[in-house]
Structure formats: C-alpha cells, structure tokens
Chains A and B, each alone.
Chain A
Amino acid sequence: MSRVALGIIVATLAILLGGGPDAVRGQAPTGEYKIGVLEPLTGNLAFEGKRHMEGLEVVRDLINERGGVMGKKLVFAVADATDPTAAASEANRLITREGVKIITGTFSSRLCGAASEVAARHKVIYWESSCVDPRFNKRDLKYVYRTEIDATGFGWYNIEFIAKHLAPRFNLKPNQLKVAFLSEDSSYGQGVTESARQRAKTEFGMQEVMLEYYNWTTLNDMTPTILKMKQLNPDVVHHIGFGNDAVLFWRQSKEQNFLFKALVHAGATGYGGADFGKALGNDANGVFALLEPGPGFRLEALRPEGQQIEKAFRDAIQKRTGTYPFGAHQLAGAGLWLLKLVLDRAKTDDPEKFNAAVMSLDMPVGSMINGWGVKFSEVGQNANDRVQHYMLQWQNGQLVTVWPEEFTTLRAKWIPLGAWDQRK
C-alpha cells in the first residue's frame, strides 16, 4: 500500500474516531460535571446497549432534577463501544480528549474487561453497571467497581431459591434434592453453574446427578441429553440457556415427556428473555429465571427512600418507552443512581477519596432502584446479599416476580411442575 493511501486511511480513521476538528476538547466549564459513558450503540450488542442508554438518560435527568452531582449538572460524553477494541480505544479517548475522571458502562462481559483496563491505567474511576464476568474484579485493578453482582452471584441466588423456597414446597430437605446442572459453555454459563454447584454441595449437601456443558451455537438436538436425564430422575434442572437451546430443551423435554419438579435459570438470556415466551406461549409456564424485578414487584416492600426513587424511575421509563423497565434499564439506572450516592458522599472525583466513600457506604436491601442495598468489598464488588435479585416465573406469557415473597404480590405456581398438559 502506498504511503499516500495509508495516510488517507489514518486520517479518515482519526476523524471517524472523533479526533476531528470539531470534537470537544477538555472538561466543560463549571456548572456541568461530565462523565464518560461507554455502551455498544451499533453492531450486534446495540439492542441492549441502547436500552442501557435509555436507563442512563432517565436516571441522569432524575439526578439533575434532584440537584445534580457535587452541585453541578450531570452530563454525558457518550462513546460507542462496539467490540472490545473499540471499548478500549474509546475509553482512552474519553479520558485523554474529553478529560473525564469517571467512566461508566458497558453492558457486555466482552467489553467491560478491556474498557476498565484502560481506565485503571489512567487512574480513572471505572463504574460498571451490568457486565457479569466473574474475572472483572479479580485483576487487582484500582478504582474499578461493579454495582451488579457477578455470574457467581446468580448461582448463589439460584441455590438460595432452590434450598429455601422450592425444597420446603416439595416437602423435601435440601440434602434430599437431586439436581441436574446443564449449561451453555460461555464464561457466564460456567460462572453461574460452578458457583451454584459449589454452594449446593457445600452449604446444603444437595445431590448432583449430572453436569453437562454444551456450545449453544452448534446444538441441534437435545433428545440424547434429555433421555440421559430422564434416567437420572432429577428433582430440579438447573439450566443456564442462551437462546435456541432453552427453547429446544423445553420443547423436546415435553416431546419426551420428561418430568421433573422445577427448572431454574438465571439472567436475561435463554429462559429469561422475552423470546422464550414468544416461542412457546403458555407452554413456557412454570420456568423460573433469576432477574431484576418485574411485574408484581411491591413498592411498599422497599424503604421510604427506595420507594421514592424506584417509583420515579419506573414512571420515567414508562413515560419514555411505554413499558415496564427492562433489565437493561434497571441495571444501568441503578448503577448510575448509586454513583450519585457515592459522589454525594465523596464530594470529589479524587480517586482515593471516592474509594473511601464507596467503602463507607452501607445501605440495607430496599434502599434504592430495584430494591438494592449497598456494601462493597475491598475489590470493588457490591455484595450478593445486598444486590437483591428476584425469581421470576413464566405465567401465561409473562415473566412475573414470585420470590422473595415479601417483595411481590404474585406467587410461584406449578410447584412441583406436574404433567406437561396440566400447567394452565
């Protein structure tokens, strides 16, 4: 390639990446406080990334109506993190060009690692709202925080639900329960499954009858797995699905008349996605998925300050999108609100003082959006038992909140599941 061509390409890229003559340089004057926001806004992660943006913008407005942060109006410098490379280069740009001292994002476990790495190198605060990769907080990076639990936290909650809610309703002790673990083999699936196995075995003595991982992108038939499971006769199937695999397992289990007492999943993929209900209609009845709160969630169960902000948040999302908040709204929104609480306390973005404020926050469950509480560990991870998660169940085409019971008006049905044609 000639030098001229190379020069043109480099110049084009520089302009595309935001180094053009009109790009805003440096921190805006007083009156505004700017943070960097990294979300995938184009490409195949964009669907969720845009919902995150909606959640962030709604909460930004709520914050500004309530006095902003550190006495200034909160504004965003938004960057599009399409993939890990873009996440890293855009984080770099936000820091060096926009001069931000705090970056929040990024929805995906594919992006948060790369972006936080860059922030840590520049001693900039990295505030993650949604990625669940368990490795995120295990890299000894300073000033890197995560408000949501990680994948291992999902496993923790699933076993909590199985041991404390399902087992008594089956009239079984937790150590009498036979559990089959089935999962897609991403770092998310493995993180949830391994932590669930660990807790099931050591804390409750549950009997693991099967463990199987698979690659969901090449899975065309689950009949062999189902036939094997049928012989092992589990009470609970702990299945982390991604997409097609969840539908395939459920449909083929019905075809093979595979009967078990409950199926528990975690996260917004597979059984936790709207697609699952669309694919199966009322045949989806009975499946459990650990998620953020959905229909049935009781405001009154929260503390007064939590009720106030949860209601304002829910109304604002409803006004903007016409729907109940989706998981992406809830994660991004709660993350940003929590950032405000920290800044209120720290009164500065100096990383050391910010860190001291993060560590000193101690709020019980029910204090904020999603009914969350706050207690960060020294590696910057919010605690499992404070980031309250909820078990939702497919009931006649809708995912509704059924557990913990004090947080919801609705109740889990079909326990145990019973015959396939009786779940109406």
Chain B
Amino acid sequence: MDPARRLGPAQIDVLAQLAVATVLLGGIYALIAVGLTLIFGIMRVVNFAHGEFLMLGMYLAFWAFALYAVDPYVVVLISIPVFFVVGLVTYVLVMRGVIQASHNVQIFTTVGLSVVLQNVALVAWAGDFRFVRPWHLSTVIRAGSTTFNLSQVVAFLIAVGLTVALVAFMKWTHAGRVMRATAQDRDAATLMGIDTDRVYRLTFAIGIAAVGAAGVLVAPLYAIYPTAGLQFVLLAYVVVVLGGLGDMFGAMLGSFIVAAVEVAGSYLFGTAWKEIFYFILFILVLVFRPAGLFGQRGAETLGV
C-alpha cells in the first residue's frame, strides 16, 4: 500500500497527525536548543557538553521522582536555580579559562567536559535505562482523530514561553542590552565599561539553566542514561545553525523545520533516512546561507 496515494479522509487524518507530531517534536527540540543558541550567540562558544547538562536535568527529575516522588513539573521550578548555579560553577571552573582562547581550544575543552560528565554519570548511576513515570505520563488529549501527548504539549508551551521570555529579556532589559553589546564586539564593550566576564558568566548560567529545565521536562518522555544527551545534541546544533547564530526565534523555527524533515522523512522513506535529510539541509545552509536561514548576513563572523 502506498502511503502517498490519493487523498481520502484517512489520509487527511494521517496528515493532521503528522503535523501534530511535527509541532510537538519541534517544541522539544526548541526547548533543548534555546540554551545552546544563547551561549553560541553571546559567547561564540560551541558548547559540546550541552547534551550532558540535559542528561543531568533528566537525572535530577529521575532522582527527585524516585526518592521523593516529586512530580517533574515541580522539579522544573527547582531545576532552574539549581542549574543556574551549576552553570555559574562550570563557567568559573572551566569556561573562564578558555573564553579568550581559540575555537579549537574551546571545542576540546567542552568535548572533554562532555566526556567527563558522561562518565561521572556512568560511575555514579550505572548505565541502566531509567524512566520517570508520573501520573500524567501517556495522558493523551484527543481532538477529532488526532492525539496530543500531554507531556509534549507542556514541553511545547514552555519552549515557546521560554523563547519569548529570553527574546524579551535580551531586547528590553539592561542586562540583555549589555549581553548583545558584548556579543557584537567584546573589546568595544569592555572599553564602554562593560564587565564582559560577568556577561559571560550570566549567559552561561542562563543557558545551562534553560537546558537543565529542558532535561527535567523531557525526562518523562525518554529513557534516562549517561549518554542520553547525545540523542539530542547533534540535532540541537543543526537547529542552531539553521536558525542563525544566537537568533532565538530562528532557533525555534529551525526546530520546527528539523522536526518536519524528520517526521516527513520517517513517514515517506523510513526512519533510517531522517538524519540523511536533515544533515543535507544542514550542509546546504552552511554552504549557501552560513548565517543561517534567518540570521543576518555577517553574523557568523561576529566577535571572532
């Protein structure tokens, strides 16, 4: 049977469900990518350990649930300050030393951090797959013939909320303006009396807080294990590049594009094809629009 045959009511139902799957999956990707795009955009550091902070967020949700039966939606509130501090500490101990160094050094450092965190998790919590099972797991909202997983809907709404909040923060607050100024020209910002070290510290902490919270939110949806971050992090890079460096709305749109490519590719050609498609897209964007689909021209070299 050809899934692409003539359009009937059954096919329309399938299309509607595929669209829903795209939006909900895109929401998860956006949630994960927003912190990465912030760090990428302001600090010009590719944080290869991003996925590991996501994994730590998932473990926080797991242990809070397993030991104290705390619902992930409560944990998410706790996770923001917790991961803000984790971000601060990581910045002070690790990132500050390499922030002035070349990109190669930064890449090696964050890759090293990623491997360290994976192995710490492996030693501390073993390699088992773990799961969080709150009561709302698998709660499904049905609208007509389409179904929405509640956890995914919540993740989607929070992703949108977080993106809007960060954009507003960057645009209208003093701290946001200072962050943008630093991103545009670190030296000039320093000359204007901006404490760039403080800006980076804040940026990194906000970025890690965002991904930590994302980890808590996706914990009920996916297995939790030491290398769980790798499942999403490659995707997050694609999203960030697609959306343009540091562009929050761009990252959100990029997430939906990647999700659409993944869902359509999986449905029409098979799951094995999905990565081929979105990495082709990734390469095309890098070749033809290096600033991203929505980024401003020249942004790719800002501050480098």
- Give me the interface of A with B, judged by CB distance under 8 Å: 44, 47, 185, 212-215, 217-225, 227-228, 231-232, 243-244, 247-248, 251-252, 254-257, 273, 275, 278-281, 283
Q: A221-B263, A247-B223 are in contact. Are A214 and B14 (CB under 8 A)?
A: no
Q: Give the contacting residue for A223; candidates B17, B272, B275; CB below 8 A.
A: B17
A279 touches B266 (CB 8 A): no
In contact, A248 and B222 (Cβ under 8 angstroms):
yes
A224-B234 contact given A212-B272, A231-B10, A279-B133, CB 8 Å threshold: no
With A244-B222, A248-B222, A251-B138 known as contacts, the answer to whether A225 contacts B266 (CB < 8 A) is yes
Q: Of A214, A217, A221, A280, which one neighbours B25 at CB under 8 angstroms?
A: A221
Contact partners of A221 in chain B: CB under 8 A? 21, 25, 259, 262-263, 266
Residue of B nearest to A214 (CB): B271
Assess whether A214 is in contact with B272, with CB atoms less than 8 Å apart. Answer: yes
Our count of residue pairs bridging A and B at CB distance below 8 angstroms stands at: 105
Distance from A188 Cβ to chain B, minimum over Cβ atoms (Å): 16
Tell whether, in the assembled complex, residue B1 and residue A231 are in contact, meaning their CB atoms are under 8 Å apart.
Answer: yes
Chain A: minimal CB distance from B153 (Å)? 12
B131/A247 in contact, CB under 8 A:
yes
Q: B127 touching A255 by the CB < 8 A rule? A: no
Instruction: Give Cα A219–Cα B25 distance, bound, in whole angstroms.
Output: 11
Residues from chain A with Cβ under 8 Å of B28 in the complex: 220
Identify which of residues 34-52 in chain B touch chain A, using a CB-to-CB cut-off of 8 Å: none
The count of residues in chain B whose C-beta lies closer than 8 Å to any C-beta of chain A is 42
In the bound complex, residues from chain A placing their C-beta under 8 Å from that of B267 are 224-225, 227-228
CB distance from B276 to the nearest CB of A (A): 11
Query: Does B147 make an interface contact (CB < 8 A)?
Result: yes
By a CB distance below 8 angstroms, the chain A residues around B138 are 251, 254-255, 283
A217 x B271 contact (CB < 8 A):
no
Contact A47 B127 (CB under 8 A): yes
Residue contact A218 to B128, C-beta cutoff 8 Å = no
Q: How far is the CB of A144 from chain B (nearest CB, A)?
A: 29
List residues of chain B with CB within 8 A of the CB of A222. 271
Q: Tell me the smallest distance from the CB of B216 to a CB of chain A, in Å.
A: 17
Which among B1, B10, B128, B235 is the interface contact of A232 at CB below 8 angstroms? B1
Name B21's closest neighbour in chain A (CB-CB): A223
Q: How far is the CB of B29 from chain A (nearest CB, A)?
A: 8
Nearest Cβ in chain B — how far from A70, in angstroms? 39
Residues of B near A254 (CB, < 8 A) are 138
CA distance A228 to B222 in the complex (A): 22
CA A74 to CA B5, docked complex, whole Å: 67
The answer to whether B140 and A255 touch across the interface, beta carbons within 8 angstroms, is yes
Q: Pick the contact of A231 from B14, B18, B140, B271 — CB < 8 Å? A: B14
